[in-house]
Amino acid sequence: AQTVTQSQPEMSVQEAETVTLSCTYDTSENNYYLFWYKQPPSRQMILVIRQEAYKQQNATENRFSVNFQKAAKSFSLKISDSQLGDTAMYFCAFRTATGANSKLTFGKGITLSVRP
């Protein structure tokens, strides 16, 4: 079974600064996907960024980038130039890339507050 661990329950960052959210996972699979989802207060969950395990290059989406360390099973999210709209809960998630049983497994989430 796969597990996803987000050990920091809350973080706070000043607007325009950079923040890194940590995530570790455990799996015996070799092919899988990793995700960061954002859930703003009372709003829908949206996908922030996705990483395929077979790709060595770290994924980047505008101000969002990941540091994927496959051997260490670590998948952190870096948010540059933080904006007030980045305030939300962030979930790290895992999904296998093989077989029929490839549900999303989520971490407990981290609440990020961006201060003006």
Partner 1 sequence: KAGVTQTPRYLIKTRGQQVTLSCSPISGHRSVSWYQQTPGQGLQFLFEYFSETQRNKGNFPGRFSGRQFSNSRSEMNVSTLELGDSALYLCASSLGASGTYYYEQYFGPGTRLTVT
Q: Which residues bind partner 1 (CB under 8 A)?
A: 33, 37, 43-47, 50, 52, 91, 93, 95, 97-109
Residue 33 CB, shortest distance to partner 1, in Å, is 6
Cα–chain center distance at 2: 16
Nearer Cβ to partner 1 (99/116): 99
Q: Given the structure tokens 């709003």, which residue do they identify?
A: 43
Nearest to 22 by CA among 6, 33, 46: 6
Residue 46 CB, shortest distance to partner 1, in Å, is 7
3-state SS, 83-99, equals CHHHCEEEEEEEEECCC
* Residue 86 and residue 79 in contact, taking contact as beta carbons nearer than 8 Å: yes
Nearer Cβ to partner 1 (86/94): 94
Nearer Cβ to partner 1 (21/82): 21
In the beta sheet, which residues pair with residue 12?
113
Nearer Cβ to partner 1 (82/92): 92
Residue 13 CB, shortest distance to partner 1, in Å, is 23
